[in-house]
Chain A
Amino acid sequence: MDNEIYRLPRERLDSLIERLARDYRVVGPVKQGATWMWTDVRPGMPLALDYPTTMLPPRQFFAPMRETLFRYHRGDDGRFAFEEPAGERPFALLGVHGCDLTALRVLRAFHESSCRDRLVPGRLDRSFVMGLACWTPCLPESFCRDMGSLESESPASLYVWDIGGVLLVKVQTARGREIMRDVGALDAATPDELVALRKRLRTRPEAFPAQLQFAPEKLATSLKAAESDILWEATADRCLSCGRCNLVCPTCTCFDVGDQASLSGGDGTRTRSWTGCQVPGFSRVAGGHDFRPGRAQQLRYRIFRKGKYMPERYGMVGCTGCGRCATHCPTHISIREIFLQVGRAP
């Protein structure tokens, strides 16, 4: 399937959305004010193939910001009855960048690890993803090339290169081929188009100047050396503990579980919702004990989680270099700069 590259005339994107809408809830990047958000798209809406990343990452469609795990009801006999929510329509995500594709692999690895989750891998299995190649960095803080996610093309049923004029689409799954066939887009890319594509791919790195002076795999060792560095204190002084870095991160996976009960307490809903290690109260456990108090320790943990613990546990670096956390931090704490400092340390 590797060589199945087809042409999709730009105006046929609409037919693609129409076809996908039969089986999926179709979402794509849409500009809202100054911010790009993943939003429902319908045929006729222009699909932005040049968007500079979204504020919230695509994980919201697989591990929702807030989801009902079950409802409960206490019967007259005092016994509880449980009801799971009905299955939702699977999502089709159009135009997912390499950083976010990488993040979907991290998401799966986490949810299929020791604390095996049923819901998130299920949604990943049922969804349809169309990847999209980037030609320029999304944000000044993007360092996807350094983190190896720029060239990531999976998991995606279809992967698109916008080479100007026509779109070139690589079919990567049987489902992807089926959709392309239904849309009537199984004309192979012409040799000229393939040459043009190869040329663009060859020159692409020039648009993504190197930001780190070391390979991401080295991070784990560098971070180990930075265990007690004053770097954490100095950087944490600027941290507001607002939690935005966690929430906009495509690979953060932490959630909180809670009940919303009726006034009499007999009925209720158990939900889980996003939280993160920088959110006050996150590391507080029964009895009021906080096992990771203080901004410096919390910041250190976030960086270690991405650069050391995730590679050790899941075999994948937890940072994709998407640049969201630094961009949306009110005081611009940059994970790229921290990595750089850590890597530079003797």
Chain B
Amino acid sequence: MDLFLHQVLAGLATGGIYACMALAIVMIYQAIDHLNFAQGEMAMFSTFIAWQLMQWGLPYWVAFVATIVISFAAGVLLEQTVLRPLHGAPVLSHIVVFIALFAILNSAAGFIWDYTVKPFPTPFGTQPLFGQGLMSAHDGGMIAVTLIILVLLYLFFRHTRIGLAMRAAAANPASARLVGIRVGWMVALGWGMAAAIGAVAGMLIAPVVFLEPNMMISILLYGFAGAVVGGLTSPLGAVIGGFSVGVIENLAGTFIPYVGREMKLTIALALIVAVLTVKPSGLLGRRVMTRV
């Protein structure tokens, strides 16, 4: 029972990171109808920036906030320079650009910071939380930070005018323009926010998986799995999906024979295939009711 609880809690902790990645993916998918394969590499690059800032002597939380700001700006800039000209281009053009971004960011990180695995500090410490040993303080910190981000995002989208405008721009760009919303800026803002959320996810997971240019590849797959489970069109679904994937992954790795640590990633892929086959709209995917 203790082992079970332990695995569930650990699953929730990494699940929070998957939830953040899933959320970033869903936000961009909502805005431009494409899956950003480079989301993980953007997060990895942000994490390197945080590491670099700390190497230059900045304290953890200063580097943390600075990285979020830099990532936000970089996300906006990326949309304006690379994605904007692609507006209305076919799906394959987008895929090629995302793969290119993936390769460029991955190689650039390797070129600048090399491929040696680096430790990344945790601000929460690694001691057991509450002295019970069920969960480490870093796991607790990950869950807490994830929840704070989710609450902030919820408040932003539900209760601010700009949040409403962003939702409108994603849901119905043509009508949004007719009421005077600058849809292009909203999309850029979405990219900035997705990049910032990814940066937080990267910085939180780096102490667990260690810092290197390929650190986010498997995390992104889990994020995709979470987004697909949740239904790709629902931010809340993405969050629930992300947490579920974390828990399922851990439980399967522990309790199903032969799965073990090495086969865990297979679970994510199996989940994606299973959801797409059985219920393509996911847990909370859009099923709009309209009366005609």
* A and B together in one complex: no
